[in-house]
Structure 1
Amino acid sequence: MVNNTKHTWRFKNPVYLHAAATVTGPKEKQGPLGKMFDKSYSDMYCDEETFEKAERRLLSDSIQIVCKKNNTSINNIDLLLAGDLTPQLASSHYTAYKLPVSFLGMYSACATLTSIIATASALISGSFISNAITAVSSHKRTADKYFRNPTQLGQQIPDTATYTVTGAGAAFLSNKPSLITVTAATIGKVINTEMNDPFNMGEAMAIAASSTISQHLHDMKETVKDYDLIITGDLSTYGNKLVQILLNKEGIDLGSSYNDCGLMIFEPNQDVFAGGSGAACCALVTFTYVIHELLQKRLKRVLLVATGALHSPSMLEQGDFIPVIAHGVVLEANEG
C-alpha cells in the first residue's frame, strides 16, 4: 500500500475481484434486480426448519456458487471472511465450521461487506494471502427477532423503518488479474448520533456515511466527479435525503452520481416502508448491478460505502444512543 493516511488505504499491489454470487429470499426475487440473482428461494425458510438455519443456507449457497463460478475449490481458498447480524455471528460461524478454510468473522452491522472487502484486500495486497472469499448474510425474520420485535407481536411500524433484506452475497478476491480491481479503502469511525430510534436507522447511518465519504474524498484528494457512482449501503428514503444535506453543508454535491442500495433492491410498491436494509442489502446490489455495470464499462470507478447501525437492544433499553459506522471501498473497471 502507498500514499496511505490514518483512515484511507491505497493498495500498492493490485487486488482483483474475480467472481461474485448472490442468493435471496422470495421478496428480493420480486424486486427490480430479481433476474440478476444466482439463486432465490420461494419462502423465508429456504428449505430449512428455522429462520436461523435458513440464513445459514443462504450464506453457504453463496460461497458454493462463487467457488463454482470462479472454477475454484474451497480447498484452495486461503481465507474466508464473513459476517452477519445474528448474535455471535452465528450464521457465519455455523457455516464456516463445515468448510476446510481459515476463517475471520467480522461485524460492522450493515457495513460488514466493505469492512471485510477492505480487510481481505489489505491482506492480499500485503502478500499475507493470495486469495479470499468475502461473504455476508441477513434475514428479515432473524433480524426482527434480535434487533426489533418478532413479527408475531404485530407491532405498528413507522414510515421511517426499513425492511431487512433476506439474502447472502459472496465475492472471490485474488492477486491474479481480472476485470475489476479494488484500489482503495476508507475505514470509518464509530459516531455518536445522539439518536435512539431503532425504526429510523437510515438517518442515523447517514451521519456515518457523510463522514466517511467526506474523509475519503479528502484523503484521496478527489471530488465527486472522479467517480461514476457513489453508492451507500442501506440509508433508504430518509437517510438518502439526509446524507446529501449533510454533505452539501461541507460543499460536497453528490448530484446524479449518487444512489443507495436500499432504494434499488425493492420496488416502491413492495410494502418495504423506507426501503431495504441489512448486511445483505449492499451485497445483493453490488454483486449484481454494480459488478455488471463495471464489466460492461458503463461504470469505470465506483465508491461503495456500506453503512451500519451498531446498536445493542440492551443498550437502548438503558437509554443509550445508536452508534453508527461506514466503510468505503473503491472498485474500478480494468481495460480488457
Structure 2
Amino acid sequence: MSAKKKGLQSVVFLNPPRLASWASIVGPKEGEGPWGNSFDVKTSDYLLGEQTWEKAESKLLQETITLAMSKTGLGVDAAEVLLAGDLMNQIISASFAARTINIPFLGLYGACSTMAEALIVGAMLVDGGFYQRVIAATSSHHYSAERQFRFPVEQGVQRSPSAQWTATASGAVVLEAGGTGPKITAVTVGKIVDMGQSDANNMGAAMAPAAADTIKMHFADMEILPDHYDLIITGDLGSIGAALLKQLFVRDGLVPLPNYSDCGMLLYDEKQDVHAGASGCGCSAAMLCGPLLAKMQRGELNKLLFVGTGALLSPTTSLQGESIPCIAHAAAIENL
C-alpha cells in the first residue's frame, strides 16, 4: 500500500501543500450578509458589466483567480495549472475564464463539492512533486443557476420552503510547495451516496447522508476522534440538511460530537429570505476564502475540516424522475 494512502478512502500528505494566498468575490446579496466585510470584493450588481448572467459568472471567476495570484506578488502566468469548475453545462464559466487566463487547465465537476475536489486534486499534484504552484477555484451565480436548473427568475415562480439560494460568489486558493501557513495535511475522497431523495428543491436532505458517510470515514481512516478539529464545516447543506446531518452524527455514534457548522447556514442572514440557506459552488468557496481562512490566519482556528457537498443531478435526470446521487469530499487544513 502507498505510504500516503491511509485507510480506505484517505490520503495523508508527506509534503503538505501550503495555502499561499486566497481570494473571494461575492455579489450584492452575499455582501449584505453577516460575513460581508470578510470578502475581498463585494460587487454592486450581478452583471459585472457583461450582457448575460453566464458571462458575468465567468468574469467573476476570472477576477477572483487573478486577485488570488496577485496576493502572491506574481502574475497569473506564474501558476502552472488551474483546477476549476462550476455548475453550468460543460463548466462554461471555468472554461471561458481559463480561455482568458491562458494557463494549463484541468476542468472539474463535483457540483457544489467542486472547491473541495479542486483542493484535493491540487494538493495531490503539489505533494507528488508534479507542480510547485497550482490554483484551485470555483464559482456560482444565482441567476445563471436558476435559469439552468429551475426557472428563469423573471418568471417569478414561487420557491419551495426547502429550496436554497444559489450564491453569486467565487473563491480561489493558490497552493504551493513548502513555506509556512495553513496547509492541507490530509484528504478523504467521498463515494456516491443516494438515499432515494428525488426532490430537486430539497438538496440539503439529499446531500446530508453523503456528508455523514465521508466524515465518518475520515475519522475511521485517520484514527482520530471527532473533536480533533476546531471546526468541521460542510459546504451547503442549509438548515434542513445540517439538522439531518447532526442526527446522523448521533446515529453513527460520533463521540464526542464535533464542533460543526455549514457554509449554507452562515453566508446569509435569516432576514434575507433565502429559505433553507445558501447553495452553489461559490458558497463554500467564498466562505473558505473569506472568513474561514482569515480565522486560521489569525490563529482563531488551527484545525479545520472542510467538507464540500455536491448534488450530482441535472434538469434532464430530474424530469426523468431519477433520484439524486450525492458526493462529499473532505480536506483537512491545519496551521503548521
Which TM-score band applies after superposition, normalised by the shorter structure?
A: over 0.9
Amino acid at match of 1:267: D
Which residue is 2:82 aligned to? 80
Q: How does 1:105-120 map to 2 (within 5 A)?
A: 105-120=107-122
- Contact kept? 2:139, 2:281, Cα under 8 Å: yes
- Residue-by-residue CA offset, 1:225-250 (whole Å, 9 max, x unaligned): 11100000000100000011112111
**Structure 1 residues 53-64: aligned runs within 5 Å:** 53-64=55-66
Q: Residue type of the partner of 1:88?
A: Q
Partners of 2:58 and 2:93 within 8 A in 1: yes
Structure 1 unaligned regions, length at least 5: none
Counterpart CA distance in 2 for 1:253 and 1:238 is: 22
Please list, as runs of the form range in 1=range in 2, the aligned pairs for 1:10-21 lying within 5 A after superposition: 10-21=12-23
Q: Would you say the 8 A contact 1:210–1:247 is kept in 2?
A: yes
- Shift in Å, 1:3: 4.7
**2:142 alignment counterpart:** 140
Q: Distance in 2 between matches of 1:275 and 1:138?
A: 15
Q: Which residue in the other structure is 2:185 paired with? A: 183
Letter in 1 for 2:306: L
Deviation at 1:100, TM superposition (A): 2.9
Q: Cα 1:254–1:111, aligned 2, differ >3 Å: closer, same or farther?
A: farther
Residue 65 of structure 1 corresponds to 67
Deviations 1:199-256 (A, max 9, x none): 1000111011000000100100011111100000000100000011112111015746
User: 1:245 aligned to 228, 244, 247, which one?
Assistant: 247
Determine what percentage of the aligned residue pairs are the same residue: 37
Letter in 2 for 1:122: M
Q: Kindly report structure 1 stretches of 4+ aligned residues shifted beyond 2 Å.
A: 1-6, 253-256
Matched letter for residue 189 of structure 1: K
CA-to-aligned-CA distance 1:33-66 (integer Å, 9 cap, x gap)? 1111111211111221110011011101101101
Q: Deviations for 1:102-136, whole angstroms, at most 9, x for unmatched residues?
A: 10000000000000100000010001111101110
Counterpart of 2:320, as a letter, is Q
Aligned counterparts of 1:111 and 1:304: Cα–Cα separation in 2: 10
After superposition, what is the alpha-carbon deviation per residue over 1:289-318, rounded to whole angstroms, capped at 9, x for unaligned?
Answer: 111111111111011101000011111211
- Name the aligned partner's letter for residue 95 of structure 2: H
Q: What SS does the aligned partner of 1:111 have?
A: helix
Measured in 2, the distance between the counterparts of 1:59 and 1:26 equals 16
Three-state SS of the structure 1 residue aligned to 2:112 is: coil
TM-score, structure 1 length as denominator? 0.97
Q: Is the 8 A contact 1:244 1:253 kept in 2?
A: no
- Deviation, 1:286, is 0.8
| CA deviation string 1:13-41 (max 9, x = no partner) | 12100111011110001011111111121
1:257 paired to 2:256 = no
TM-score (norm 2): 0.97
2:44 match: 42
Question: 1:135-190: CA deviations, max 9, x gaps?
Answer: 10000111111111111222221111000000111010000313111001100001
Tell me whether 123-132 or 33-42 shows the greater mean CA deviation.
Answer: 33-42
Q: Following the alignment from structure 2 to structure 1, what is the Cα–Cα distance between the partners of residues 160 and 76?
A: 43
User: In structure 2, which of residues 50, 53, 76 is the aligned counterpart of residue 51 of structure 1?
Assistant: 53
- Assess if the C-alpha contact under 8 Å between 2:70 and 2:76 holds in 1: no
Match of 1:315 in 2: 317
- Give unmatched runs, 5+ long, in structure 2: none
Secondary structure at the residue paired with 2:173? strand
Q: Is residue 82–residue 135 contact of structure 1 (8 Å, CA) maintained in 2? A: yes
Do the aligned partners of 2:18 and 2:181 also contact (CA within 8 Å) in 1?
Answer: yes
For residues 42 and 51 of structure 2, the distance between their equivalents in structure 1, rounded to whole angstroms, comes to 17
The residue number in structure 1 matching 2:234 is 232
- How far off its partner does 1:271 sit? 0.8
Change (3 A) 1:3 1:52: closer
CA 227–55 in structure 1, closer or farther in 2 if over 3 Å, else same: same
Q: Distance in 2 between matches of 1:45 and 1:77?
A: 28
Structure-2 residue corresponding to 1:295: 297
Match of 2:126 among 124, 127, 130: 124
Equivalent residue pairs, number: 334
Residue correspondence of structure 1 range 317-336 to structure 2 within 5 A: 317-334=319-336
3-state secondary structure, aligned to 1:284? helix
Aligned-partner SS, 1:110:
helix
Q: Secondary structure at the match of 1:280?
A: helix
